Amino acid sequence: MHEQRAARAVLTERLRIARELHDSVAHSIGIITVLSGAAARVVQTRPEQTRQALTGIETTSRETLLELQRMLGALRRAEPDDAMPGAASLAPAGSLADVPQLAERTADAGVRVHVAWRGERRPLPSEIELSAFRIIQESVTNVVRHSGARTCRVAVGYEPEGVTIEVVDDGDDGLGGPGRPRHSTAPCGSGFGLLGMRERVSLLSGQFSAGRRPEGGFRVTARLPA
């Protein structure tokens, strides 16, 4: 029984590390991919737009590098007996307060994110704040990389006993944008994004759904008790 508990603890920690690495890196790489494509397409005709894209790539790359350095530092500092969930802080604590900055970075990649706040905003437990932010981040990443949409809507609702999240896009409008080729209709590249979101919500005893909308596009919803 002791060996089984130890094995489960190691597996849980490996999954936690995998989720954090995926969520923190996938968004930034998606933005960099789109911006580099934009720069390549207009480098000869629109030097100012190329300069803006390259500046966005540099900024996003620096932020991602710093986050990876913090993760690796936390992992190296962890003692062997700490291989349990929550033993090491793998990344800077993300929170719902970071959503406006996320929307700003996403706009640089050609997707405008409209954020709506409902209810009375208040501080939530750190694990709720982090999971809520990561769910929004991953959902927006999927819009940038896979939907072909130029806009998406993020709604965060504060309720007396929890917080709700909804991320909706209307699908490919056929317009796209510089460096934004029309992607596959698959909602997620590897499938790990949706899986990671489901795991986060499940660990917090919340509710999660994701799927295509009858009128077009994709919707992700989650409710986290707090």
Helix spans in the chain (H): 2-42, 47-77, 99-108, 126-142, 192-203
Give the gyration radius of the chain's Cα atoms.
18
The CB-side HSE value for 107 (13 A sphere, CA atoms) comes to 11
| End-to-end Cα separation, the chain, in angstroms | 33
Taking only the tens place, the pLDDT of each residue in 172-221 is 765 544 444 444 434 444 567 788 888 889 888 999 999 999 999 999 99
Report the distance separating Cα 39 and Cα 47, nearest Å: 9
Taking only the tens place, the pLDDT of each residue in 132-179 is 999 998 899 889 888 888 999 999 999 999 999 999 999 876 554 444
What pLDDT score was predicted for residue 191?
60
Three-state DSSP state, 224: strand
CA distances from 222 to 141, 195, 210 (A): 16, 13, 9
